[in-house]
Amino acid sequence: MNASSAQPLPIMPAVLVLEDNEAYRTLISEVLTQAGFDVSSAPDGRRVSTILRERRIDLIITDVSMPERDGLETLTELRYSHPHLPVIAISGDVPLNRDLFLNLAAKLGAARVLAKPFKMDQLLTIAREALAAGNASTTPPAEAN
């Protein structure tokens, strides 16, 4: 990790990581936590609406291909229930499926898409970019003097 990505964030953005692979979910969660994010995680999207009712979430990182409730279903629901919540879609399925799934995720409103395998620095960079873009789009305009 380079020095700028190791710097903690001034405010701890709350991130929800949805990933069915436990080792990958743990790795992503640990990297985000070390970078200054407040991280929650789940193995799929079944409990997203409950988690969003129980706590503030600023960003969701979701695998696209998961059993039970996949990232595309979750992303579709979020576009209606939380249209301004940034979502990063990740996928490591076979290349043809992966590209198709990531294109669908982008069309469904994912702020960013990322193909596995990826470097954790890449994830941190796009997480910060998605948060910044989300904050800019939801910030009310300044009052004119």
Q: How many domains does the chain have?
A: 1
How far, in Å, CA of 142 to CA of 127, rounded? 26
Whether 144 is covered by a domain: the verdict is: no
**Left if phi > 0, otherwise alpha if psi is -120 to 50, otherwise beta: which for 78?**
alpha
pLDDT one-digit tens code per residue, 81-127? 999 999 999 998 767 788 899 999 999 999 999 999 999 999 999 99
pLDDT of residue 8: 53
Split at pLDDT 50, 70, 90, the class of 135 is low
Task: Residue 128: give its domain's CATH number.
Answer: 3.40.50.2300
**Residue with token string 């190791």:** 6
Whether 110 is covered by a domain: the verdict is: yes
How far, in Å, CA of 145 to CA of 143, rounded? 6
Q: State which residues form the domain around 93.
A: 12-136
Whether 4 is covered by a domain: the verdict is: no
* pLDDT at residue 64 is higher than 70: yes
Helix (H, G, I), strand (E, B) or coil at 125: helix
Whether 124 is covered by a domain: the verdict is: yes
Whether 121 is covered by a domain: the verdict is: yes
pLDDT of residue 84: 93
Q: Please enumerate in sequence order all residues whose Cβ is within 8 A of that of 27, keeping only pairs 6 or more positions apart, or say none.
A: 120
Average of pLDDT values for 37-59? 95
pLDDT of residue 68: 85
Whether pTM > 0.95 for this model: the answer is no
Packing angle between helix 120-138 and helix 22-34, nearest 10 degrees?
Answer: 70
Beta bridge partners of 63: 90
More confident residue, 2 or 110: 110
pLDDT > 70 in the chain, percent: 85
Average pLDDT taken over every residue of the chain = 86
Whether 38 is covered by a domain: the verdict is: yes
More confident residue, 125 or 143: 125
DSSP 73-121: HHHHHHHHH-TTS-EEEEE-S-HHHHHHHHHHHHHTT-SEEEESS--HH
pLDDT of residue 145: 39
